[in-house]
Structure 1
Amino acid sequence: MRLSTSAVLALPLLAAAQGPLEQFEQYKAQFQNFLSNFGAKAPAEAPSVKTNPVQAAEAAIGATQVDVLTLSNWKDVLNGPVKADSTTPTEWWVFISGGNKTCFGHCEKVEKAFNASAAKFALLPKAPHMAIINCDDQPVLCNSWSASSGTVWAIDMVPPPAPVEIYRKRMNLTATATTDQTFVDLYNKGDKEGWSYHDGYFHPFNGPLAKNGLSVPLGYFFYVFNAIPSWAMMLVVSFFSRNIM
């Protein structure tokens, strides 16, 4: 039997390659054995999922969202979570905001802080329901409540005809004075020190104007009155004074 020159030259190469191939097979067998052992020791349970606190807060905002109150919906919204047989008040925090007309542009940052605080309130075991009124958009509602922009109202809703308690607090409208944490700290304080108890004719639930259906008509009256230019009022006053004289 004769061997070709190429076959003779290939023999050393095959011999040299045999060593790495055997080592590779050994490593492969060890790796497969490791995988089988790992699979036997691993518990049969779903993999754990790490929860991002920010995402958890965003998911919880559904329960602590900020509703927008209008003249047509405010009663339904505030009474929405109140159960007919409830003996514990349902607390609402309503921020009275405004734009350039009613707040001269000072409420914007505080309004954003109030909205942002909803994420932090959502992480608390108990938190107030939250809503906002923009007096530029809802002048009749603000006038019927005699509500001034830049204040937060804490409203303890109870099933009617029980009286509704309201406390008001003027917020600091300085650029950096009021943040989202300001509202959370105010709530965690647990009392109404520094708040003003709201009572009188313009109380939206207990006041005589509301009970007699006069608060909304007065709200329209004040809205029209404020919308009339001062020079027009002077003409009207001058006209009547001349006729009287």
Structure 2
Amino acid sequence: MRFAPVVLALPAMAAAQQQVPLLEQAKGWLNNFIGAATSNVNSASSAAASAASGVPNPAYAAAGKVQQLTVTDLTKENYLQVMKPGAATASPGIEDWMVYTTGGNRTCFGMCNRADEEWIKAVPLLSAVPSAPQLARLDCEKEPQLCNAWGAGAPSVIYIQLPQPLPDQTTPATTVYFLPLNRTTVSAQDFVSIATEKAFFKERTPYEGFFHPFDGILAKTGLAIPFGWVVYGFSVMPSWALMIGISFFSRTFMSKRMGPQGGAAARPAAPAGRTQ
């Protein structure tokens, strides 16, 4: 009879042992709930900050159903047809173009690989940017004449703002920025920043010189592509052939300057007369 209290306490002890796993499970459920809530808050904050800055979140840009922008390959034959302002009857405005220039072993010394990879990553991000510029790509290895005509190096970005013609058919000046890229540190975010941060251009002066793609002397006279061919010809000419040409020209020039001169100085002296 003395064991009766102990026997009666056994069910309560068993119930207490069964409640321990349930408590641990409840703690695990609570932790999972807190973690999920924190993750949602962080995601919402990241999305809000991204929307406020105008820079798309890469995760949302990749997950969202955004139609990717078309990247047009520029050539010396099609650039005038591709990059032209809208009709004069269209609504006034400016059409932005973002041209990425790249190259190969001869024009970029094989150091454009990183920039090429980051450009590919940047295209879907740029597609998610509201009012994104038109995208184009210029390969200086395949189109050296056009790169020479524009004085463009690789890797770089040529940001062009094409104004639409005025009602009187006159076209305002085209704004062009030549933006070199760091070959070792360039990232996809750099391309996005160029398209989204308008303050990016405030510290830079638009190019208005000899190689301006639309308003320069070469472009106005129609000599841009011929000039590009001339520069390309010199670049592929062997060094020995160039030295021979310079030597031949210098010898011809010097022989004309050092030739016999006319007048009394050129005539031989007359023999002395005989004395009586």
Same fold flag (TM > 0.5): yes
Tell whether 2:117 aligns with 1:108. no
Q: What is the total number of aligned residue pairs between the two structures? A: 188
Which residue of structure 2 aligns with residue 139 of structure 1? 144
- Percentage of matched positions with identical amino acids: 33
Q: How has the CA–CA distance of structure 1 residues 195 and 98 changed in structure 2, closer, same or farther, with 3 Å as cutoff?
A: farther
- CA-CA distance at 1:112 after TM superposition: 2.4
Q: Distance in 2 between matches of 1:202 and 1:185?
A: 26
**Cα distance per residue 1:81-131 (max 9 Å; x no partner):** x34324211101101111111110111221221232110111122111111
2:194 to 161, 177, 186: 186
Tell whether 2:226 aligns with 1:217. yes
Flag as ranges the 4+ runs of structure 1 deviating above 4 A. Answer: none
**Counterpart mapping for 1:152-163 below 5 A:** 152-160=157-165, 161-163=171-173
Which residue of structure 2 aligns with residue 118 of structure 1? 123
Q: Distance in 1 between matches of 2:63 and 2:74?
A: 27
Cα RMSD after superposing both structures: 1.9
Q: How has the CA–CA distance of structure 1 residues 206 and 101 changed in structure 2, closer, same or farther, with 3 Å as cutoff?
A: same
Q: Distance in 2 between matches of 1:194 and 1:231?
A: 44
The amino acid of 2:251's aligned partner reads: R
Q: Distance in 2 between matches of 1:180 and 1:146?
A: 24
Q: Report the TM-score when normalising by structure 2.
A: 0.63
Q: How has the CA–CA distance of structure 1 residues 231 and 170 changed in structure 2, closer, same or farther, with 3 Å as cutoff?
A: same
Q: Distance in 2 between matches of 1:76 and 1:144?
A: 17
Q: Distance in 2 between matches of 1:98 and 1:76?
A: 23
Q: Distance in 1 between matches of 2:236 and 2:250?
A: 22
Q: Report the TM-score when normalising by structure 1.
A: 0.71
Q: Distance in 2 between matches of 1:130 and 1:195?
A: 21
SS at match of 1:172: coil
1:151 to 142, 152, 156: 156
Q: How has the CA–CA distance of structure 1 residues 225 and 65 changed in structure 2, closer, same or farther, with 3 Å as cutoff?
A: same
Gaps of 5+ in 1: 1-51
